[in-house]
Amino acid sequence: MTVTAFMLVKTTPEWLALTVEERIEAFRTEVVPAIEEKAKGVRSRFYDTEFYSARVTDVWVWEAVDHAAYQRLVDALRETPFWDRWFEVAEILVGVENGYADNYGVDAVASITT
């Protein structure tokens, strides 16, 4: 069962003091290797929210193949400057897509628009 985590984060002054090139390089050299080494079976997506929220500047969505993969991801992130140095983790919301449908043996209800 895939686990999805919505990690709500806020950039720190240290992160914002870096140039865009330095940020990309820091992510490539500090964060990505830690994830690749310790957290197999995890996919990420990133959403900028600083345009709409003062409390949270980004939402990082992590999809893990299972709870163990997600836990390894968090352990890996905590060992990098990402965690509480470059970003403050404001909140983590973890869920299972359509978990209610699986629990009750029913089809998931979803809207479809064209």
pLDDT for 29 = 96
**Structural contact between residues 55 and 10, judged by C-beta atoms closer than 8 angstroms:** yes
Compute the average pLDDT of residues 61-71.
Answer: 95
pLDDT for 110 = 83
pLDDT band for 103, please (50, 70, 90 cuts). confident
Q: Is 11 exposed, middle or buried (0-12, 13-18, 19+ CB in 10 A)?
A: middle
pTM of the model: 0.85
Query: pLDDT tens digits for 23-64?
Result: 999 999 999 999 999 999 999 999 999 999 889 999 999 999
pLDDT for 85 = 96
Question: Which two three-digit tokens encode residue 59?
Answer: 């939402």
Across the chain, mean pLDDT equals 93
pLDDT band for 88, please (50, 70, 90 cuts). very high
pLDDT for 108 = 86
Question: CATH code for 3-100?
Answer: 3.30.70.3420
> At residue 103, what are phi and psi to the nearest 5 degrees?
-65, -35
